[in-house]
Chains A and B, each alone.
Chain A
Amino acid sequence: MTTPLDQQPAPEVVVGAPGTSAAGPAARAAALLQRGGVAALAALLVLVILGSALWPSFHTMDNLRYTLLGNSYIGIVAIGMTLVIFTGGIDLSVGSVFALGGVVGVYMNNQYGPAVGIVATILACGLVGLVNGLLVGVAELPPFIVTLATLFGVRGLVYQLTDAGATTYSLAPDSFMAHLGTGTWMTIGIPVFIAIALYGAFHVLLERTPYGLTVQSIGGGESAAVLMGLPVRRTTISLYVVSAALAGFAGMLQAAQLVSASPIIASGYELQAIAAVVIGGTLLTGGSGSVVGTAAGVLLLGVINDYIVQLQLDSTWNNVVSGGFLVVVVVLQRVLNYRRR
């Protein structure tokens, strides 16, 4: 799919065009850097070691708990975003769907119990994803605009469901769902384990299943994937469903942790998720990246947040540093890409 937004202004040299044969080791290094999100992991490691050396309160269990729990929701959202971006698409609706997930999950849980709550959340949000997917995959509208529209529409829906926030959906603190959000295992919040499990599952899905390899090759060049006889359209649609379902599920989890669903939550999550994915080494043009890299990207942004706290800076620095980091990463990606050509 050629979205207009992906258009490169500079005359593009295609990989594989005559005369670009193989800069061996450099290219491989570049590919490695991007693939595993090795750069993000390395940066994460350096920051963690440095932070531990600088501040005694940095490598405490409390801080770890706090950082992991605080980032597990956006982490789950970022998994779906990784998959969508992998195919050269984008999903701007995840923030709104996140809020929808919280409201639907809590409401259905209170009405029909936790099992229905969880299933209904995934179904309702998956339906939004299906709309996105069909508009992108079948109607061939640009993903950016389609998901921008659902960003508006779903947020409106959430306001409507909550009477613009007048109705609050709260969980009974001792309910199963509340426990899912607030409970701990070995002193660490349960959402953290859920996020880790999801990362593991999607890592296997993306790296070890034929479906995952199809996803990876769509991003690499949609026409190549079509010519190779892969089910491109079906896969593309499914990714938007997965992205929305994950976002909704994450929203439900956070609502469970907060013991209530907020209609205004998670606006701007789409940007954070995109930033984490890009910093984690997934190319926005698609075709290269990994969920492990995204995990590193999410944690890296989390650790930057920690630094801001430790340095006793205003928390608004967080976004400034993240934005700067994002620029550095995309510029590096471009430069490495040029070299590979």
Chain B
Amino acid sequence: MPPTAPVLEARSISKSFPGVRALDGVSLTVLPGRAHALIGENGAGKSTLIKILTGVYQLDEGTLLHRGEQVAFTEPRAAQSAGISTIYQELDLVPLQSAARNLYLGREPRTRIGLVDFKKMRRDARALLADYGIDADVDAPLASLGLGTQQMISVARAVALDANVVIMDEPTSSLEAREVETLFAIIERLKAAGVAIVYVSHRLDELYRVCEDVTVLRDGKMVHTGLMADLPRLQLVATMLGRELLEQTRRERAEGEGPDPDAEPVLDVRGISRRNLLHDVSFQVRPGEVVGLGGLLGAGRSETGMAVLGAQEIDSGEVVVAGRPVRRNSPAAAIEAGVAMLPEDRKLAGILPSMSIRDNIALAALPRLSRLGLVSDKRIDEIVAQFMKQLSIRATGPAQKVGTLSGGNQQKVMLARWLCLNPKVLILDEPTRGIDVGAKAEVRATIDELAAQGLAVVLVSSEAEELVDESDRIVVLKEGRVIDELTDDHVTERHLMQAIAGETDEAEQTPAADEQTPTPDEQTPAPDEQHEGGADDE
């Protein structure tokens, strides 16, 4: 087999889950000795693709070729014995067992009588870790080691499996700068040994430094594949966030529309910080204003939203609503103060799936809709009917279980749950994710309407177009820090993407620059690394 033949190849793979087409004809060609960047926002289908490559899910359509032969991995074990090993984002190791055991779990060295040879295991583990420059006590339970060290052990485990493909899902998300360097050294060694790497990350600098090839997914489809060097930074961000065309600017506002610039802010976020997640995040929102939180996955957008709701613990800083500081870490207190939030993960944190639309809408307002601990069904019925009409929730009736509704209608039910509280601040985390186009437009129209009524809205969205279209201002986050704030004429997709890509405005003076001829700036991303490493250092 010639060395340039792909070691792993996915050909027009599709995969559906009930109600969702997670992957739609996606192809991926992984070459030996090279690193392939696999990127896309949340819900783009990266995780599903990885899980198909590793045998966790079975594909519906398409073919999977490993070393030129068609394969069907029915379980993770099959993929592993074929030499495809994976470092999962959520650290899928056994936390209470020692590092050494984790390294060799499932393929322990044995003594002659078939018992596990712990002596050899420990010796091998020490040698392995030392070889890769990982400093850790192999006898310590994994949970007692630092997150970065755990992650490195996960890497070492994957590498030690004699893999020919190593899939790394956000491998640097919990690593310190020094550890990142160690990881990169390991990756270089693997590449030199002919191992293929599939590298998933949202840290652009890393992608350009490590990867030769790139594939971009969006909404379950492959939207770009090619050489990393041929894809300038700005265009990478644009492809990922959904626009080739960078002309989108803020929707024109009618006369008198939009927030009163002199109004006192109703939401004042003052320097909230949380170790490893948020660093001194501050911003304000005035009544009637829509402030977008921009940035890539893992930039701290959702965490900021959750912190305002009091559901993300913070170490310092405060959230002030209508002039009053809100008690920390208590959603009930934040809700009482007038904060409402549509969480990103509807299923996990939003809906009560087996309860009715009625009960779902009334949940947060129960204290107001009851007297002496008894619910007033009449008032609930009124409110439910009102909001079902106002938000045009399509269902067989208020008794329909929310779990059986479409995503768009579920989202409207969630909106109704909060709107019946008359909130002052509404945080919307990916409000249109996973819902169909019609419902999307409706939800967005509702956002405009609410802002027009004087509600302060914080919008988190991975769709650049939506963010730019809806927001009056955009606060751009990166690695838990506010790195930029786009106002007025700067609320455009171009500026947003430049901010995210970490480029200065000056480099892109000419309007509507020709995307086919990237500026020299974009072709040489290397100088950014120093800065990146420094920012990473806690």
Which A residues are closer than 8 A to B by beta carbons? 11, 14-16, 18-24, 27-28, 31, 34-35, 204, 208-210, 212-214, 216-217, 220-221, 223-231, 287-288, 340
Contacts and interface: CB of A to CB of B under 8 A. Distances in A.
A229 B105 CA distance: 9
Interface in B128-174: 140-141, 143-150, 173-174
A221 B92 contact: yes
Contacts of B106: 210, 214, 228-230
A171 B140 CA distance: 52
Counting chain A CB atoms within 10 Å of each CB, the highest count among B90, B141, B143, B148 belongs to B143
A20 B147 CA distance: 8
A224 B97 CA distance: 12
Given A20-B147, A28-B140, A230-B105, A204 B92 contact: no
Contacts of B145: 22
A21 B116 contact: no
Given A19-B277, A223-B92, A227-B76, A217 B97 contact: yes
Contacts of A34: 96
Contact of B146 (A14, A22, A228): A22
A227 B145 CA distance: 21
Interface string B107-118: 010100011101
Contacts of A14: 90
Contacts of A210: 106, 108, 110, 116
Nearest to A220: B94
Contact of A287 (B75, B80, B96, B274): B96
B147 A213 contact: no
A290 to B, nearest CB: 11
B361 to A, nearest CB: 23
B411 interface: no
Given A208-B115, A224-B94, A229-B80, A18 B147 contact: yes
Contacts of A16: 90-91, 95, 143, 147, 150
Interface string B40-61: 0000000000000010100000
Contact of A213 (B81, B116, B277): B116
Interface of B: 54, 56, 75-77, 79-81, 86, 88, 90-97, 101, 105-106, 108, 110, 114-116, 118, 140-141, 143-150, 173-174, 274-277, 311
A21 B147 contact: yes
Given A35-B141, A228-B93, 18 more contacts: A18-B147, A19-B274, A19-B276, A31-B143, A210-B108, A214-B106, A217-B97, A224-B92, A225-B94, A226-B56, A228-B92, A229-B77, A230-B77, A230-B105, A287-B95, A287-B96, A288-B96, A340-B143
B458 to A, nearest CB: 22
Contact of A216 (B97, B110, B140, B274): B97
Contacts of B108: 210, 213
A184 B108 CA distance: 40
B118 A208 contact: yes
Closest 3 A-B residue pairs measured CB to CB? A229-B77, A220-B94, A21-B147
A18 B96 contact: no
Given A28-B140, A210-B106, A18 B94 contact: no
B76 A226 contact: yes
B416 to A, nearest CB: 24
B13 to A, nearest CB: 20
Contacts of A11: 311
Contact of B93 (A213, A216, A224, A230): A224
B92 A216 contact: no
A288 B141 CA distance: 11
A209 B95 contact: no
A209 B147 contact: no
Nearest to B173: A18
A16 B90 CA distance: 8
Contacts, number: 113
28 contacts: A16-B90, A16-B143, A21-B276, A22-B149, A27-B143, A31-B96, A31-B141, A34-B96, A209-B115, A210-B106, A210-B116, A212-B116, A213-B105, A213-B108, A214-B105, A214-B106, A220-B95, A221-B94, A224-B94, A227-B54, A228-B80, A228-B105, A229-B79, A229-B106, A231-B77, A287-B94, A287-B96, A340-B143
Contacts of B150: 16
A336 to B, nearest CB: 12
A314 B56 CA distance: 57
A291 to B, nearest CB: 16
A305 B514 CA distance: 85
Given A21-B147, A209-B115, A217 B94 contact: yes
A14 B91 CA distance: 10
Given A209-B114, A227-B86, A230-B105, A19 B275 contact: yes
Contact of A31 (B86, B90, B101, B144): B144
B105 A217 contact: yes
B144 A27 contact: yes
Nearest to B143: A15
Contact of B116 (A18, A209, A228): A209
Contacts of A209: 114-116
A220 B102 CA distance: 11
B80 A18 contact: no
A93 B212 CA distance: 58
A333 to B, nearest CB: 12
B105 A227 contact: no
B105 A24 contact: no
Nearest to A11: B311
A283 to B, nearest CB: 8
Nearest to B538: A21
A216 B94 contact: yes
A229 B147 contact: no
A184 B409 CA distance: 74
Give the residue among B76, B81, B97, B277 with the most A Cβ atoms within 10 A: B97
Contacts of A224: 92-94
B366 to A, nearest CB: 18
A19 to B, nearest CB: 5
A153 B277 CA distance: 53
Nearest to A226: B76
A213 B81 CA distance: 19
Contacts of A23: 144
A252 B80 CA distance: 44
A15 B95 contact: yes
B173 to A, nearest CB: 7
A104 B110 CA distance: 38
